[in-house]
Structure 1
Amino acid sequence: MRRIGVLTSGGDAPGMNAAIRAVVRYAIYSNIEVLGIGKGYRGLIENDMKNMDLSSVADIIHRGGTILGTDRCEEFKTEEGFGKALDNLRYREVDGIIVIGGDGSFQGARKLSRAGIPTVGIPGTIDNDLAYTEYTLGFNTALNTILDSIGKIRDTSSSHERTNIIEVMGRHCGDLALYSGLAGGAEVVMIPEAPISIDGICEIIMRGKARGKKHSIIVLAEGSGNAYDLKDEINKRIDVSVRYTVLGYIQRGGTPTAYDRLLGSRMGAKGVELLVDGIGNVVLGTKDGKVFHQDIEEALCMEKQFDYEAYELTKILSV
């Protein structure tokens, strides 16, 4: 390895900058040049690549987002766009690529791997929706952001004796809603993996009122509907004051937690180490607190396992 590239693709996630910093500094320590690729796979097509040195990643470990920029590039999926990307990589004499992103980004990494470009994927997405790894980079920060919001909303919910619906991100994966609901003491957690009826939700709210509880929190995963419609459906059935909050992109931003800074640093360094050792076409993950690597083809074929134990616990503890 003489020269490698690093890019961030898809939705941004806290900790991406920590990973970029680790990639650049560990590569320079290993006498390898690093090209920062702007705007994800679009940067490969448009030849948006620049040399990175130690100072280019100074004071970024604590910053959210990604200094490289990110995008979802449909052109990369076309034969013409992918051909341009390969031509630019060969022109720049790039020997390997580190891709930081989620499922869609890894699909692009697999495509590069199949074309003969050694590639290492770092799972950067707040959704935690990749099946092969326990946690993804950015999930912990997003989870804590949601918890902070739940605490603030509970204060006003209690003051006005209301039911509050908090809609969180996660696409088709309910992990953000599940773990924030469990840690935040929500009365109801709505997730796509374990649907609950509106009547069931109303029953939980009224059961709480019957024992003197004057407010309640519902955490809704975006993959299970939207907060506005849920509010209307509850009001059709029971006489309670309901408000809703859609947290939106606040979940993606902010200073990464210590966990995500450490994870990004470890994964960034490990990605370079693997390329130096001649190991490519893999993705990094975590298991039992350790970073491991797995073949990208195998990782993308795995099915996400839902934590039913944690879900059952939310129901038990919300009694």
Structure 2
Amino acid sequence: MKRIGVLTSGGDSPGMNAAVRAVVRKAIYHDVEVYGIYHGYSGLINGNIKKLEIGSVGDTIHRGGTILYSARCPEFRELEGQRKGIENLKKFGIEGLVVVGGDGSFRGAEKLTNHGYPTIGVPGTIDNDIPGTDFTIGFDTALNTVINAIDKIRDTATSHERTYVVEVMGRDAGDLALWSGLADGAESILIPEAEYDMQQIVARLKRGHERGKKHSIIIVAEGAGSGVEIGKQIEEATGFETRVTVLGHIQRGGSPTAFDRVLASRLGARAVELLLEGKGGRTVGIQNNKIVDHDINEILSVKHVIDEGMYQLSQELSI
């Protein structure tokens, strides 16, 4: 294999640039040419492809977002869109591909492998919802962004003796909410993987108030409900002054943490190694601090699950 491509797809996550950098430099180290595909699968369909050199990824390891840009591409879900993409891979002589993204991006990688183009999926998403890896690129950075925001909100909650509801990202996965809630001592954590009882949440808030607690923090993953609506319910049920903060896309930006930079570098480099070994249809990940790879079909058939022990611990510590 003498020429490979790399693209980023789906929602951006801090560390994607570090992964792209690793792919480019690892490949060039092994005398393999690298072509960057801009704007994800949309760029693949439209032929927005350029050769990358060592300098193309210089001064990028510390930058959030993705220098290759990203875009949603429903067209690539259809066979005709996939054929257009394959035509451009042939046109540029690209023999293998590295895709950095989440579940939807991996499904595109699976299609390309099935069409005869070895493709490796590198997990890049702040949701940490990809099976086969303990952590995804961007999760640690987003988590620290959330924690930093909650720390500031707690200062205000303390000053005004209020209850604060903080809504974080996580449409289908509650890792951001769970980890940040446990790290910041939240009174309740609402995640899409577990049902919650509003009466229990209210009872916990009232118990805290009765023993002299002046403020409380409730963390809500967006997939578990609207932070605004939950805030209204809490205020009506308790009479406590309640405020809501929706963190939104601030969670996706920012310079990646050291952990995410190193993780992205290790995973990006391993993706290139797999292509050079003639392997496609694989995903890379980290488990017990070891870099691993799995069959992409196997990963896509497994549903992400929350750490139930951690969730139980969060409830025990918030009495």
SS class of match (1:6): strand
SS class of match (1:219): strand
The corresponding residue for 1:126 is 126
Question: How much does 1:131 deviate?
Answer: 2.0
TM norm structure 1: 0.99
Deviations 1:57-79 (A, max 9, x none): 00000000000000110111122
In structure 2, what residue type is equivalent to 1:147?
Answer: I
C-alpha distance in 1, partners of 2:308/2:81?
42
Contact 1:62 1:261 survives alignment (8 Å):
yes
The corresponding residue for 2:87 is 87
Contact 2:172 2:192 survives alignment (8 Å):
yes
The corresponding residue for 1:39 is 39
C-alpha distance in 2, partners of 1:132/1:267?
13
Is residue 313 from structure 1 mapped to residue 317 from structure 2 by the alignment? Answer: no
Question: How much does 1:132 deviate?
Answer: 2.0
Deviations 1:191-225 (A, max 9, x none): 11122122111111101001110000000000111
C-alpha distance in 2, partners of 1:160/1:43?
50
In structure 2, what residue type is equivalent to 1:155?
Answer: D
Question: How much does 1:316 deviate?
Answer: 1.3
In structure 2, what residue type is equivalent to 1:154?
Answer: R
SS class of match (1:195): coil
SS class of match (1:259): helix
Deviations 1:249-306 (A, max 9, x none): 0000001000000000001111111111111110001100111001101111112232
Contact 1:132 1:304 survives alignment (8 Å):
no
The corresponding residue for 1:13 is 13
C-alpha distance in 1, partners of 2:304/2:294?
15
C-alpha distance in 2, partners of 1:226/1:303?
24
In structure 1, what residue type is equivalent to 2:48?
Answer: D
Question: How much does 1:125 deviate?
Answer: 0.3
The corresponding residue for 2:304 is 304
Q: 1:45-124 to 2 correspondence within 5 Å?
A: 45-124=45-124
Question: How much does 1:235 deviate?
Answer: 1.9
* Percent of pairs with identical residues: 54
Question: How much does 1:232 deviate?
Answer: 1.2
Contact 2:132 2:287 survives alignment (8 Å):
no
TM norm structure 2: 0.99
The corresponding residue for 2:289 is 289
Structure 1: gaps of 5 or more residues: none
The corresponding residue for 1:235 is 235
The corresponding residue for 1:172 is 172
Contact 2:171 2:192 survives alignment (8 Å):
no
SS class of match (1:286): strand
Q: Which moved more, 1:195-204 or 1:56-65?
A: 195-204
The corresponding residue for 1:199 is 199
Deviations 1:79-138 (A, max 9, x none): 221111111111111010000000000000000010000011000000011122211110
Deviations 1:221-257 (A, max 9, x none): 0011111101111122111000010000000000100
Contact 2:99 2:122 survives alignment (8 Å):
yes
SS class of match (1:304): coil
C-alpha distance in 1, partners of 2:217/2:101?
32
SS class of match (1:254): coil
Is residue 138 from structure 1 mapped to residue 138 from structure 2 by the alignment? Answer: yes
C-alpha distance in 2, partners of 1:216/1:108?
43
